[in-house]
Amino acid sequence: MKPSTAPKTYRVKSFGCQMNVYDGERMAELLGDRGITPAPEGEEADLVVLNTCHIREKAAEKVYSDIGRLVKAGEAVGKKPLIAVAGCVAQAEGEEIMARAPAVSMVVGPQAYHRLPEMLDRAVKGERAADTDMPAIAKFDSLPQRRKIGPTAFLTVQEGCDKFCTYCVVPYTRGAEISRPFSDLIIEAQKLVEAGAREITLLGQNVNAWSGGDDKGRAQGLAGLIRAIAKIDGLERIRYTTSHPADMDEALIAAHGEVEKLMPYLHLPVQSGADRVLKAMNRSHTAESYLRLLERFRAARPDIALSGDFIVGFPGETEAEFADTLSLVDEVRYAQAYSFKYSPRPGTPAATMDGQIAREVMDERLQRLQAALNRDQFAFNQASVGKICDVLVERKGKHEGQWLGKSPWLQSVWFEGDCAIGDMVTVELAEAGPNSLKGLLRQSAAVA
């Protein structure tokens, strides 16, 4: 490959989960430290980072078509962008990407992206490099300080997964569970708040598996970390995602009843309502143990909004087993949830199991499940009408004078009135839609 000139502009395109969004922001900060600036909207960037997701679909194929599109778009304006492939597809298929896509000069896994600047130096000289090492934790120590300016921010506290659900690639692409040290997290949270964040969402593939020693050396779980972060002045709201039922403890449940800044929302994937399927998935819970766990959260925080993940059409799933999933949904009445068709991932045990389900059957089941979930989400929104709550203003709405923000239950709320991005305002929830609520501004700044 011929040497290029040093890139002046970059674009990071993140796909998939919130952790990829966080990683994308941190890669942008690394590039920003090099004096490279975000490419203006509508302009081809000199350097493009494709921060990929491998969890479902033929994600790898999508990467190749994105690369092809970037090359063409570059040619049209007479430039050859430097292309880096990052994220979970990079981790899983790094060598293949290097072999199949000569336009790519950097492949960097989710645990190695702190080395992106060095790789960039080599790429500028015309060398190609792949780095899919998985050094535990080293990455975070070599990243620049946070300079997030929006009112909401992500903070990765834990990465990786040891659970090995039989359908999932995460344990292979993100590696074993590791927790970032307590003191690093307190410092990063403080920096985010100094930079304007009023809400922090703690991230981890198994966020509630986080553990560490606090500043006095005492062992803490996620609840202890949340309580410590809640002490930061200027921070108003704390959320966390995603949790695993097996890592839940009493301290976290209790925190929902006691820590005012901890928002009344829980995302707890269940995947299926049928115990045989759960066992084949290597989930360590049953439908019943999951429901009892939710009951304990509801006892601690009666208004808690519940969310979950579902997979339909796991190999061998019968109609009766799918009906068990619908019954579980009826019982929980989720405020919001995510549902997916099973997608065989190369290298996972489920991909070669007997009883792979036909696409049409999956489509039909997904439709029925989503109808039930949408019904419950709308019902949850309708039941919120009349409530007066805080809304953190995140952005301007579509129409002049309109604002958009989130309720404590993570509902999107839009309203009109005099305020600014980052304000915590008091709003009366006045009208419910399936995906959002209309609010009436009651007070421009919330009363403490």
Using CB under 6 A as the criterion, which residues of the chain lie in contact with ligand 5AD when the complex forms? 55-56, 167-168, 269, 271, 309, 311, 340, 342-343, 345
| Shortest spacing between CB 23 and ligand 5AD, in angstroms | 16
| Shortest spacing between CB 174 and ligand 5AD, in angstroms | 12
Per DSSP, 417 falls in state S
Restricting to residues 161-180, name those near ligand SF4 by CB under 6 A: 161, 163-165, 168, 170-171
| Shortest spacing between CB 313 and ligand 5AD, in angstroms | 9
The string of DSSP letters for 187-201 reads HHHHHHHHTT-SEEE
Residues binding ligand SF4: number (CB under 6 A): 10
At CB < 8 A and 24+ separation, what contacts does 360-367 make?
361/313, 362/312, 362/313, 365/312, 365/313, 365/317, 365/322, 366/312, 366/313, 366/339, 366/340, 366/341
Residue 342 site contact among ligand SF4, ligand 5AD, none (CB < 5 to 8 Å, cut-off depends on kind): ligand 5AD
Per DSSP, the three-state class of 133 is coil
Q: What is the dihedral of CA 131, 132, 136, 140, to 10 degrees?
A: 50
Residue 311 site contact among ligand 5AD, ligand SF4, none (CB < 5 to 8 Å, cut-off depends on kind): ligand 5AD
> And the tokens for 311?
């997979």
| Shortest spacing between CB 236 and ligand 5AD, in angstroms | 28
Residue 56 site contact among ligand 5AD, ligand SF4, none (CB < 5 to 8 Å, cut-off depends on kind): ligand 5AD
| Shortest spacing between CB 66 and ligand SF4, in angstroms | 24
Restricting to residues 179-238, name those near ligand SF4 by CB under 6 A: 205-206
107 HSE (CA, 13 A, CB side): 26
Q: Give me the phi and psi of 38, to 5 degrees please.
A: -60, 135
Distance CA 348, CA 346 (A): 6
Nearer to ligand 5AD among residue 271 and residue 407 (C-beta): 271
Residue 205 site contact among ligand SF4, ligand 5AD, none (CB < 5 to 8 Å, cut-off depends on kind): ligand SF4
Q: Give me the phi and psi of 57, to 5 degrees please.
A: 65, -175
Note the residues at the interface with ligand SF4 (CB under 6 A). 161, 163-165, 168, 170-171, 205-206, 244
